[in-house]
């Protein structure tokens, strides 16, 4: 049942989530969709988990506060905008849709993501973009405005990730270790220089091709529009591309060959 402090008007449902248990909040969202709501405004969010998880309707969710783990997990269509930070598991196994975070994100951002887009203004935690993959014509995208922690894009199998480093002091490189460990597909675009010692085995550094540069320009333009930034200034710095040296990085190990 929708609470008395929820208001449905012109297909917009506004909910005060203060003190609302996460299961009750997610039930309220599903009930709102069933009643015809197409935009949700959630205020006072303080760690409620699974917001937007499993939703397949083309709805918009605006979150004011800090949502809990697995925001938008298994999501297939909605758009979520967070005016604050997000916790772990953002976009876990996301199929389609969009998530925009006006702060930082925790660990496991985009884990096993196979479609849709995630934009984070600040930094991301460990193992972001782990096991991202492509499926048929779906290609997942992650753009992080700041930096990320260790094991970034670990076991990446498809899609594209852009790491902009905008939160780093001038001249400071990304410090995340084991970047791209086990990577066997997809593309990582890094703004600025990268220390080769931080890369996982089997990851190589390349210059951007013309199609790569067009991809980066498009992703940066979209990122800059969400966060009211100057895309041209962001693109004025050099970019490099990381990609796997092999589509079977552990093939030799598993097969026992030299």
User: How confident is the model at residue 201, as a pLDDT?
Assistant: 85
117 forms beta bridges with 98, 141
Element (DSSP H or E) covering residue 163? strand 157-163
State pTM to two decimals: 0.92
What structural domains and CATH numbers belong to the chain? Answer: 1-80 (no CATH), 104-258 (2.160.20.60)
150-204 tens-digit pLDDT = 999 999 999 999 999 999 998 888 989 999 999 999 999 999 888 889 898 889 9
HSE-up (13 A, CA, CB side) for residue 107: 5
User: Among all chains, which residue has been given the structure tokens 């100057």?
Assistant: 230
Nearest residue to 167 (alpha-carbon basis) of 138, 191, 141, 132: 191
Does residue 140 carry a pLDDT above 50?
A: yes
**How many helices (H) and strands (E) would you count in the chain?**
4, 12
Contacts of 87 (CB under 8 A, 6+ apart): 47, 66, 67, 68, 69, 71, 105, 106
By the 8 A CB rule, do 117 and 99 touch? yes
């Amino acid at each position: 049942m929708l609470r008395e402090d929820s208001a449905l008007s012109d297909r917009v449902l506004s909910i005060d989530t203060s003190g609302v248990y996460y299961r009750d909040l997610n039930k309220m969202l599903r009930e709102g969709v069933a009643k015809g709501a197409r935009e949700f405004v959630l205020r006072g969010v303080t760690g409620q988990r699974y917001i937007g998880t499993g939703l397949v309707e083309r709805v918009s969710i605006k979150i004011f506060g800090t949502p809990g783990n697995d925001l938008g997990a298994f999501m297939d269509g909605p758009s979520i905008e967070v005016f604050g930070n997000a916790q772990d598991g953002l976009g876990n196994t996301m199929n389609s849709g969009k998530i925009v975070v006006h702060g930082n994100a925790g660990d496991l951002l985009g884990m096993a993501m196979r479609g849709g887009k995630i934009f984070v203004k600040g930094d991301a935690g460990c193992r972001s973009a782990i096991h991202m993959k492509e499926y048929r014509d779906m290609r997942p995208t992650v753009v992080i405005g700041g930096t990320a922690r260790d094991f970034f894009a670990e076991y990446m199998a498809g899609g594209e990730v852009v790491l902009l480093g905008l939160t780093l002091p001038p001249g400071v490189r990304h410090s995340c270790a084991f970047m791209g460990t086990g990577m066997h597909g997809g593309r990582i675009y890094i703004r600025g220089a990268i220390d080769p010692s931080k890369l996982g085995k089997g990851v190589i550094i390349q210059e951007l091709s013309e199609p790569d540069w067009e991809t980066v320009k498009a992703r940066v333009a979209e990122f800059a529009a969400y966060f009211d930034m100057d895309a041209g200034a962001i693109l004025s710095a050099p970019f490099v591309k990381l990609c796997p040296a092999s589509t079977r990085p552990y093939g030799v190990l598993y097969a026992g060959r030299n």
